[in-house]
Amino acid sequence: MRRDIFQAIADPTRRAILVLIATQAMTPNTIAEHFDSSRQAISKHLRILNECALIKQEQLGREIYYQLKVEKMKEIDNWLAQFRQIWESRFNQLDDILATFKKSNK
């Protein structure tokens, strides 16, 4: 079954893993130390993130390091952009209403 990025980020642990490896590559054991989950559970989360191409792995010697694929995160940002425009428009409308309200109360 092919997963998509939205299924991957739906889980809070996977989102936390993405935040954790956003600044530096980490081994699965290092990642697992930050959670109250088993090493196997973290490995499953890493596998799902890898299947969705949100992370990449690099083998250095005997260790595998995982790091965030920032370019894939842009896909999420592009999808959210449509909603961001709606929210900004509504906030601007609210600002206008509040400004009008303040002027009328002076």
Digit-coded pLDDT (tens) for 14-29: 999 999 999 999 999 9
Q: Which residue has the higher pLDDT, 5 or 66?
A: 66
Mean per-residue pLDDT, 68-88: 90
**What gap in Å lies between CA 25 and CA 85, rounded to an integer?**
33
CB-based burial label for 16 (10 Å; 0-12, 13-18, 19+): middle
Which class is domain 1-68?
A: mainly alpha
Please tell me the pTM assigned to this model. 0.77
How high is the pLDDT of residue 63? Answer: 95
- The answer to whether residues 45 and 3 touch, using CB atoms and an 8 Å cutoff, is no
Q: Is the dihedral of CA 23, 65, 79, 5 positive or negative?
A: negative
- 23-66, pLDDT tens digit by residue? 999 999 999 999 999 999 999 999 999 999 999 999 999 999 99
